[in-house]
Chain A
Amino acid sequence: MYAIEVNNISKNYYSEKSGKFAGIGVNPLLLEESTNNNLSNEGISFDVEKGEIFGIIGPDGAGKTTLFRILTTLILADSGNASVDGFDVVKDYKEIRKRVGYMPGRFSLYQDLTVEENLNFFATVFNTTIEENYELIKDIYQQIEPFKKRRAGKLSGGMKQKLALSCALIHKPSVLFLDEPTTGVDPVSRKEFWGMLKKLKDQGITILVSTPYMDEATLCDRISLIQNGQFLKIDTPKNIISQYKNKLWAVQSDTMYKLLTDLRANELTKNCFAFGDKHHLSIDNEQLTIDDLKEIIVKSGHTNVVITEIEPTIEDCFMQLSQV
């Protein structure tokens, strides 16, 4: 039995104002009515193994939150079915609510209750006590315990995040849903947060987590890349990276902005994107060597040209897959 099973799920919102569909997957009924042939008629499907960290990676508006709301039984899908911990998200919603923890993207604890009161409240709602499951939240909660008398609304972003995670964990859920827990969080705190997730995984908790930060993908066991309500790919980060088509080179010179336009103008270039202090260049041509390219670049007036072959990042893969 999978911890999460999703079969052909779709959920679409039609906005009168924008005249557009949003959500995930596409409902075949809507498709019939629609004249837009670009819509694929597929819902989305995937499974999450027990004890796995599964990442849903994609930009804002890709449909991540819609998926989370369906799986946490807060909204109904238009089509398809899904189960969590073996329970159907429609029929058995009460069972599911007892056994999942959910941390929504927007901070949704009680701002006018203190840290301790919030935690107590959630423990009570789930018929348990802080003491009973203290071991599970200890590492996280201890960091905010000195402020337990402070109102949640007065906490800093990082502390709110830790409190929300503690509250989502206090009833010892078997599956944890984290919707963009690290958005707007600085790189150091993000790293720390992923360290906490790793520890929860080691205690057997299944984690479905969404993020717009592509660099967090490699911290998941498996990921799905999502855009415009459709999955571009589902696999382990390693496999997705190994399936990258084309050669990928990192290119540097003294004049980086000119280098970018020069490389894009070159017909050998498949595409070229800035990546920090280097440009990532993907090349279609098997014959072309690094020395050949170097010669071309130097000829167009660049100095201190450095080219190295590199392994793609998940962000490279996402851009390649989303451009098809």
Chain B
Amino acid sequence: MNNIPHIKSGKVITAENLTKKFGHFTAVDNISFEVERGEIFGFLGANGAGKTTAMRMLCGLSIPTSGKGIVAGFDIESQTELVKKSIGYMSQKFSLYDDLKVWENIELFGGIYGMKDNEIKEKTDELMKVLNFENERDKLVGSLPLGFKQKLAFSVSIFHSPQVVFLDEPTGGVDPITRRQFWELIYDATSKGITVFVTTHYMDEAEYCDRVSIMVDGRIEALDSPKNLKKQFNATSMEEVFHQLARKSTRKAD
């Protein structure tokens, strides 16, 4: 990408007192945090805690009611289009087009993000090799098993080399072996300097993150490495930490 300004600090995401209100309801309540380049940042919380709303603001899809956010060097309020160009996004629900072939999906998304044809071609060859997908290249995405699809969807979401990729429950419903292979792809992406912002309901996956934040009723109630969080809450697993915090919730919504 040509127009990404040089980022002096190692921060890829900065949120300062970020708030989103819908009428009288405060979905996201004054959250502040920073995510470092190359970090795997786990964004946890119960259903209805405000994760999706916060994530939509960080992706430039929803304007904050108050507070400030910088993602990949761009303001999430005034530079939403630049934010969108610099990030990748993948969710369990929307991944790829089932009725397009593997290479067609890649070309489509590469094109949308403004990549050049020869660049798309070169990177597609490389990706097919890495994923061991050379035989699947001309197959319709709809014919692939779910696990393959999710791995491909992740690879497509970082195909344009975004600075940060947002993953919204990427492993929901995926079989246990593929779920683990998926995380190996995440590790590989961070080794190339891509920052990963991920939500999950699998607490074992929280352990794979460098740092984890836990949202309760719109606020970030805890933020640290899994190791430190376990120490802080005197717990043996992230599951226990999560239960201790989520129990504090007073929001009737969920």
Interface positions of A (Cβ within 8 A of B): 15, 17-20, 58-61, 146, 156-159, 183-191, 212-214, 227, 257, 273-277, 315, 318-319, 322-323
Chain B residues near A15: list those with CB within 8 A: 142-143
Which of A59, A60, A186 makes the CB contact (< 8 A) with B45?
A: A186
Q: How far is the CA of A212 from the CA of B202 in the complex (A)?
A: 11
Collect the chain B residues with CB atoms within 8 Å of residue A275's CB.
Answer: 204
Beyond A59-B176, A276-B237: 5 further Cβ-contacts under 8 Å? A157-B48, A183-B172, A186-B46, A274-B204, A276-B204
B48:A276 contact, CB within 8 angstroms: no
Q: Tell whether A186 pairs with B201 under 8 Å between CB atoms, given A18-B140, A214-B176.
A: yes
Q: A159 vs B251: C-alpha distance in the bound complex, in angstroms?
A: 12
Cα separation A322 to B147 with both chains bound (whole Å) = 14
Complex Cα spacing A231 to B246, Å:
35
The number of residue pairs between A and B whose CB atoms lie closer than 8 Å in the complex comes to: 106
Q: Check if A277 sits within 8 Å of B46, measured CB to CB.
A: no
Residue of chain B at shortest CB distance from A257 = B187
The distance in angstroms between the C-alpha atoms of A184 and B246, with both chains bound, is 16
Q: In the bound complex, do residue A58 and residue B246 qualify as a contact, i.e. CB atoms below 8 Å apart?
A: no
- Taken together as a complex, chains A and B put the C-alpha atoms of A184 and B168 apart, in Å, by 11
Cβ of B99 within 8 Å of any chain A Cβ, yes or no, is: yes
CA distance A293 to B232 in the complex (A): 32
| Docked-complex contact B47 and A59, CB < 8 angstroms | no
**For residue A274, which residues in chain B have a CB less than 8 angstroms away from its CB?**
180, 183, 204, 208
The proximity string for B residues 215-254 relative to A, scoring 1 for CB distances below 8 Å and 0 otherwise, is 0000000000011000000000111001100110000111
A228 to chain B, nearest CB (A): 9
Question: Do B47 and A319 touch across chains, with their CB atoms under 8 A apart?
Answer: no
**B140, A59: Cβ atoms under 8 Å?**
no
* Cβ-based interface call for B173 (8 A): yes
Chain B hits for A58, CB < 8 A: 175
Cα of A277 to Cα of B247 in the assembled complex, Å: 23
Q: B104 in the interface, Cβ–Cβ < 8 Å?
A: no
Candidate in A17, A60, A156 with the most chain B CB atoms within 10 angstroms = A60
Query: In angstroms, how far is the closest chain B Cβ from the Cβ of A249?
Result: 17
Contacts of A157 in B (CB 8 A): 47-48, 254
- Beyond A184-B169, A186-B47, A257-B187, is A159–B254 a contact (Cβ under 8 Å)? yes
Contact of B99 among A17, A183, A184, A185 (CB under 8 A): A17
Query: Does A156 lie within 8 Å of B253, measured CB to CB?
Result: yes
The answer on a CB contact under 8 Å between A17 and B146 is no
Answer whether A183 and B173 are a contact pair too, CB < 8 Å, given A17-B99, A60-B146, A61-B146. Answer: yes
Q: A93–B95 Cα gap in the complex (Å)?
A: 38
What 6 A-B pairs are tightest by C-beta distance, nearest first?
A: A18-B143, A59-B175, A158-B254, A60-B173, A276-B204, A276-B207
Task: List chain A residues, Cβ under 8 A from B112.
Answer: none
Q: Which residue of A has the minimal Cβ distance to B245?
A: A188
Q: Could you tell me if B174 and A187 are in contact, using CB atoms closer than 8 angstroms?
A: no
Q: Is B177 an interface residue (CB 8 A)?
A: yes
Which of A20, A187, A190, A319 contacts B177 (CB under 8 A)? A319
Does any Cβ of A come within 8 Å of B145's Cβ?
Answer: yes
With a cutoff of 8 Å between Cβ atoms, the chain B residues found around residue A19 in the complex are 143
Q: Give min CB distance, A56 to chain B, whole Å.
A: 13
Tell whether B203 is near chain A: CB-to-CB under 8 Å: yes
With A and B bound together, what is the CA distance between A187 and B239 in angstroms? 8
The answer on a CB contact under 8 Å between A185 and B201 is yes
Partner of A276, one of B169, B173, B238: B238
Is A185 within 8 A of B143, CB to CB? Answer: no
A268 to B140, CA, bound (A): 39
CA distance A18 to B98 in the complex (A): 10
Nearest B-chain residue to A143, judged by Cβ = B252
Q: Could you name 11 residue pairs across A and B whose Cβ atoms are closer than 8 Å?
A: A15-B143, A18-B142, A59-B174, A184-B47, A184-B172, A185-B47, A186-B46, A187-B242, A187-B243, A276-B205, A277-B227
- Report the minimal beta-carbon distance from B250 to chain A, rounded to whole angstroms: 13
Q: Nearest B residue to A20 by beta-carbon distance? A: B143
Residue of B nearest to A273 (CB): B180
> A227 to B175, Cβ gap below 8 A?
yes
Residue numbers in B under 8 Å from A213 (CB-CB): 202
Q: Which residue of B lies closest to A271 (CB)?
A: B177
* Chain A nearest CB, measured from B147 CB (Å): 8
Tell which of A158, A214, A257 touches B253, judged by Cβ atoms closer than 8 Å: A158
A257 to B49, CA, bound (A): 31
With contact pairs A18-B142, A157-B254, A159-B254 given, residues A319 and B174 touching in the complex (Cβ less than 8 Å): no
- In B40-69, the 8 Å CB interface with A consists of 45-49
Which single residue of chain B is at the shortest CB-CB distance from A19?
Answer: B143
Q: Which residues of B contact A183 (CB under 8 A)?
A: 172-173
**CB contact between A158 and one of B48, B172, B178 (< 8 Å): that residue:** B48
A277–B201 Cα distance when bound, in Å, is: 16
- Residues 6-35 of chain B, each 1 if its beta carbon lies under 8 Å from chain A, else 0: 000000000000000000000000000000
Contact B254 A156 (CB under 8 A): yes
CA distance A157 to B142 in the complex (A): 28
Are the C-beta atoms of B176 and A318 separated by less than 8 Å?
yes
- Find chain A residues with CB under 8 A from B205 CB: 276
Question: In the assembled complex, which residues on chain A have CB atoms less than 8 Å from the CB atom of B239?
Answer: 187
A189 touches B177 (CB 8 A): no
